[in-house]
């Protein structure tokens, strides 16, 4: 078995909404597990929150996330980015369009100094995305 590196996104109270949004962008199968299902919290306000979510797509993308328990510090948007890169222009451009639609464009998706198309946006949940579309060889 090989080792993989997957982005894991933390949210306070909206992991379910965020992960369902990402499923609408990327497709794939989404599994959601609550704190109650794993008896992971004694706090009654956390029982329906997401303890673990995993989105797996047919193209091999895996994105994980969870709600941050009330007892833990939560600082959104300042300590991570998610990078999407490859040479499938229409696929990557589609991801960009949907991620940036209700978010903020930090750097427009446009030709970069290294020749690829590159852009940075922050989606409506405060997640920073970097998209790099490679020029076909």
Question: What confidence tens digit (pLDDT) does each residue in 1-29 have?
Answer: 456 668 989 999 999 999 999 999 999 99
Top pLDDT among 136 and 7 is at 7
Q: How far apart are CA 131 and CA 120, in angstroms?
A: 6
For residue 59, the domain's CATH number is 3.10.180.10
Q: Coil, strand, or helix at residue 105?
A: strand
Residue 113 is predicted with a pLDDT of 83
pTM (two decimals): 0.80
Question: For residue 77, what pLDDT band results from cuts at 50, 70 and 90?
Answer: low
Question: For residue 114, what pLDDT band results from cuts at 50, 70 and 90?
Answer: confident
pLDDT in tens, 39-71: 888 888 889 999 899 999 999 999 999 998 888
Residue 75 placed within a domain: no
Domain that holds residue 129: 82-133
Residue 1 placed within a domain: no
Q: Compute the average pLDDT of residues 133-137.
A: 83
Q: Compute the average pLDDT of residues 100-129.
A: 93
For residue 107, the domain's CATH number is 3.30.720.110
Cβ-contact 72, 52 below 8 angstroms = no
Q: Which residues contact 136 (CB under 8 A, 6 or more apart)?
A: 87
Instruction: Quickly count: other Cβ atoms within 10 Å of residue 66's Cβ.
Output: 20
Token reading at 13: 């109270």
Beta-strand relationship, 128-133 and 104-111: unpaired
- Number of domains the chain is built from: 2
Helix (H) / strand (E) containing 9 = strand 8-11
For the chain, the average pLDDT equals: 90
Residues 62 and 18 in one domain: yes
Cα torsion 107, 80, 101, 112 to 10°: value is 30
């Amino acid at each position: 078995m090989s080792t993989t590196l997957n982005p894991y996104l933390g949210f306070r109270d909206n992991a379910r909404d965020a992960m369902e949004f990402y499923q609408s962008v990327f497709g794939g199968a989404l599994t959601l597990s609550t704190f109650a299902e794993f008896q992971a919290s004694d706090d009654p306000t956390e029982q329906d929150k997401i303890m673990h979510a995993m989105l797996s797509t047919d193209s091999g993308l895996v994105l994980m996330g969870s709600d941050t328990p009330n007892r833990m510090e939560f600082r959104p948007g300042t300590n991570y980015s998610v990078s999407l890169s490859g040479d499938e222009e229409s696929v990557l451009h589609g991801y960009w369009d949907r991620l940036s639609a209700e978010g903020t464009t930090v750097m427009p998706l446009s030709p970069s100094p290294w020749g690829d198309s590159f852009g940075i946006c922050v989606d409506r949940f405060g997640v920073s995305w970097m998209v790099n579309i490679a020029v076909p060889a």
